[in-house]
Amino acid sequence: MLLTVDVGNTNITFGLFKGEDLKYSFRMMTKQPRTSDEYGVSVMMLLQQLDVKKEEVEGIIIASVVPDLMHSLVGGLERYVGKNPLIVGPGVKTGIKIVTENPREIGADRIVDAVGAYEKYGGPVLVMDFGTATTYDLISASGEFIAGITAPGIRISAKALWQDTAKLPEIEIKKPDSILAQNTVTSMQAGLVYGQIGQTEYMVKKVKEESGLDNLKVVATGGLGSIIADETDCIEVYDRMLTLDGLRLIYEKNCK
């Protein structure tokens, strides 16, 4: 089995693949400080709950946008699972050629999403990730990473509302029944969700307009992406596990 690890700003998402099939996935919070032993023990306990022996884990691959925790995470996985992880970064084969001004600025998570979208759905493709930040990345028909757009994520925008205002409460992020809100909570929900839908549709329109790629496929992922994908026709595919699939594909390119 292959253990894939996506280290995001909010959560660390683990996936266990048997061949091309994602058998299990589980998460832990990123911002809680942990030692290497705590990471190792936590992963081993989760594997035990799934009745998976560490000997069944043949390889590990990690993509991270949080450098500070990598020493502890990698150390814990090496010590407890007994495998040296492949870490997505310079020198790792991805099949994607980055042609932006400074390729090293492109985050590992975005490269992994690009690989997943291009390999699974072909190109040209615009892949959106509705995570801590909302990202829009354009991949050409020949697998070139042409451009990337970064915007505040829905949770960042929501947190700004209730942390930087005196009277607005912390709320659940969901689409209200109507944009014509009648109270504080639904007014915030309407602004956050309908605002994100509007941003998404405009971004897709402008990317198609400026790139000239009318045949562009539009693929979305990320925890809150399903809320947006259900409400707009501009997103063709919502793939919740796109990042984990991208990690699997990169591992296969490098280790088979």
State residue 158's pLDDT score: 92
| CA 49/CA 60 separation, integer angstroms | 19
Every domain of the chain and the residues it spans = 2-87, 97-247
pTM of the model: 0.92
| CA 130/CA 109 separation, integer angstroms | 12
Residue with the bigger pLDDT between 101 and 114: it is 114
| CA 165/CA 50 separation, integer angstroms | 44
Residue with the bigger pLDDT between 224 and 218: it is 218
Listing DSSP states for 62-99 in one string gives EEES-GGGHHHHHHHHHHHT--PPEE-STT---S-EE-
State residue 214's pLDDT score: 87
Check residue 122 and give left, alpha or beta (phi > 0: left; psi -120 to 50: alpha).
left
Instruction: Kindly indicate the confidence band of residue 97, based on its pLDDT and cuts at 50, 70 and 90.
Output: very high
To the query of whether residue 230 is one of the catalytic residues in this protein, the response is no
Give the pLDDT confidence of 13-61 residue by residue, as tens digits: 999 999 999 999 999 999 888 999 999 999 999 999 999 999 999 999 9
Say which residue the tokens 């407890």 belong to: 80
Other beta carbons less than 10 A from residue 163's beta carbon = 9
Q: Check for a shared fold between 2-87 and 97-247.
A: yes
Give the pLDDT confidence of 174-197 residue by residue, as tens digits: 999 999 999 999 999 999 999 999
State residue 166's pLDDT score: 86
Would the CA dihedral through 52, 54, 56, 57 be positive or negative? positive
Q: Is CATH 3.30.420.40 correct for 97-247?
A: yes
Structure token digits, residue 32: 């809680």
Does residue 256 register a pLDDT over 80? Answer: no
| In contact, 136 and 201? CB cutoff 8 Å | no
State residue 31's pLDDT score: 83
Average pLDDT of every residue of the chain: 94
The stretch 163-172 carries a mean pLDDT of 90
Give the pLDDT confidence of 55-83 residue by residue, as tens digits: 999 999 999 999 999 999 999 999 999 99
Superfamily of domain 2-87: ATPase, nucleotide binding domain (3.30.420.40)
Give the pLDDT confidence of 120-146 residue by residue, as tens digits: 999 999 999 998 899 999 999 999 999
Identify which of 123, 89, 90, 124 has the alpha carbon closest to the alpha carbon of residue 109: 89
Catalytic, out of 6, 109, 129, 137: 109
Does residue 107 register a pLDDT over 80? Answer: yes
